[in-house]
A and B are shown apart, each in its own frame.
Chain A
Amino acid sequence: MTDLLVPLPIALPLAAAAILLVFAHNWPEGAPDAIAVVVSLAVAAICGLLLPRVAQAPIAYWFGGWQPRHGLTLGIGFVIDQTGALIALFIALLFAATFIFARGYMPEIGTYFQALMLLMMTGMIGFCLTHDLFNMFVWFEVMSVAAFALTAVRLEASALEGALNFTVVNSIGSYLMLGGIGLIYAKVGALDFSALAQGIAKAGANPVVTAAFCLVVIALLIKAAIVPFQFWLSDAHAVAPSPVSVIFSGAMVSVALYGAAKLYRQVFAGDPAVDFAMHHLMLGMGAASAIVGGLMCLWQRHLKRLLAFSTISHVGIMLIGIGLPSAAGTVGMIVYLLGHGLVKASAFMVAGILLATYGGIDELGLRGLARPIWPAGLALALAGLLLAGAPIGLMGQGATLIGSAAASAGDIWAVVAMTLGAALTGGAVLRAAGRIFLGLGPVPGEEEFEPTEREAETRRPFWLMFAPCAVLVLAALTSGGTVARFVHRAAGPFIHPDNAGILQGAAKLTGSGGIAPLPPDPHPLVPWLGLALALGLAAWDLSRQYLPHRLLSLSRMGVAPVWAVLSKAHDGIIGDYVAWMVAGLAVMAAVLALR
């Protein structure tokens, strides 16, 4: 019975997408939306059923019955542990909420929207559950191609340009990943995670393994928009339809990092060069993303672009969690991923509500206009507080875990960077909420420099759009402790998988013991400091009219050079983005070679 359940989370949405397309124009109005909601809820229910069944030990499922024999793997397997099932459950629920939010959106393009979204969900869930490196690449591509098409689905000029940049940069990443897969296959002769892990352990410290890791992980970092690979994200997320942005920021980028964490822990861990890269390079890149994303976020006036930069910052915080040597960092990253997904999804839904209701999303243009829909403002302000690092709810739990793991590893600077990054993005979101929903801050600030444009989305009933948004942000607020304890209990098989059992085709895998108890908090004051900084930033920007002129011009002089450099780098030209990417690749390779 359990074995029947395993392929369903991918088979069901894939089949539904195909059926939606077969009868593309013959569906009665509303039917495709209903089908999409039902299918994603069904997938969520299946993942929920799997969760208790893999509590004792993970399940290995071999497609077509190609079990490994005598340690030799020929087939492709899914190995489902509680962590994987939980992430799949989260993805399915997020899609269900988004389908409800998007009901009646873009009726002119027929069922393509729902079909592409279901395809993207299939890709993401397959990517999280698979146990084969090449299969992981295929799911990665399924999710990417659906995402490329969804970005451009409105066929407006800026959406097409954003989609082109997105597609080119991410495709180069995919090809690098494939090159890395070729290298590791040349060395080890296997693609199954367990077989790879054993082969890598046998090969010892080896430059081919390091190069393969470098290439594969760069593809995932490009997808996750880590500095210096982040440029495509603000172009794509800002112009994609808002239901699509919800998924992009809420799940797609962070799922790529989940894949990186899984590959590191289950395949490459133990290789000295890879351990070095994870601890030093990833921590540094994560901290850089947290701060660059936070600063860019603060200077935006286009709300979706603002939220896109905020995503870069928070993904950087997740990367810090992965890079830390202790398991607590990885546990914290998974908790943070769930929390950030819920919060950022609801923030993008507020942006979508504004687009649908007022036909605009410019923070300055909308000042005070949105008072009648104050519940949405409440949700955005709550999201801002949670993004700023308030020590409550899921994000707070995750940030505390990552911070305490960093502090106990001696990387206090990483704690500083993540607190600062979160405070900057939280401050920006709080400022936007105050300006749009309360009408504060009539004097425009630096953000007047940044681009914006007129756009509109189909008008839909407010409560229909607001209900999923409120549910998501409240879920992030209330579920913190329970989920954090669950993820910590479940992380054992994720971090130490039963490779021998999987390779022998064992009917019953061992659950492998739990992981070390969590380290103590760095300091209970740290998150409050971040929150205070965020509130201070928002208050500063909104009260410019009352501040002395000297103080303002002084602060502007300090900020202008940083703004000029960062803004020039985010110039929207694809060639420059790729040049940055090659530079990042070269630096990573050089650091690893000269280690």
Chain B
Amino acid sequence: MDSFFEIHGLHKRFGGLGAVNDFDFQCDQGSIVSIIGPNGAGKTTVFNCITGFYSIDGGEIRFKGELLNDRSPDRITRIGIARTYQNIRLFSNMTGVENILVGMEPHLRSTYFGSLLRTKFTRNEERRAHTEAVRLLEFVGIPRHSDDLAKNFPYGDQRRLEIARALASKPELLLLDEPTAGMNIRESAETMHFIQKLRDELGITIILIEHDMRVVMGISERITVLDYGQKIAEGTPKDIQNNPRVIEAYLGRGAASGIATYPAT
């Protein structure tokens, strides 16, 4: 039986530069795993390959046994993979609810002529979708400005809205690209608990790119470390903390402490 999600020998080149080389990865259903690495290591490139933003130059990506290579982003989303972005990419001139309604597109069935004639089916579907969108906003903890334009949301709420929009497609696998970037310690801790809640309550598998080691070490079950497009380590948070190659990649040769002294939570 195939594993839930796996990548074999992924290659991605930009011109002569190998952004990702021979990358292997897998994760089980219902787990939270992290991909870490210094800036420019190729983490976001991996996400872009998974979600079909980039065509890959070699290897294969499988989700529940299905090959994802060469599928367009919309088809990958329809299979059940959703993502957020490192630099927030909301539909900034749409309201909070509208952003989520767009996220629900894979599950909406009303047609062109159904909309024109405003059939009973269309009306019911729109009403249900709207209720669901409001519920999702409550779930991620930002119910108060559902009808504000997304660009007017406070920064932290924009991150949450982006997650809500990703959840709207009812994904089984959620890719979060630096969900705590730009947050203070308290906000990061909240986000961390929120991510755990996603897994525990909705059963969503989560792959996380993250720089904040408190978050990474706190919630990841397994961690994969990338450097210069190559996997240099993989294991539990404890393994990673003590791995000399990881410390070297982050701090340079000769630096000993640092990551290793971080508390595990």
Please indicate whether A and B come from the same complex rather than being unrelated chains. no
Chain A contacts to B: CB under 8 angstroms? none
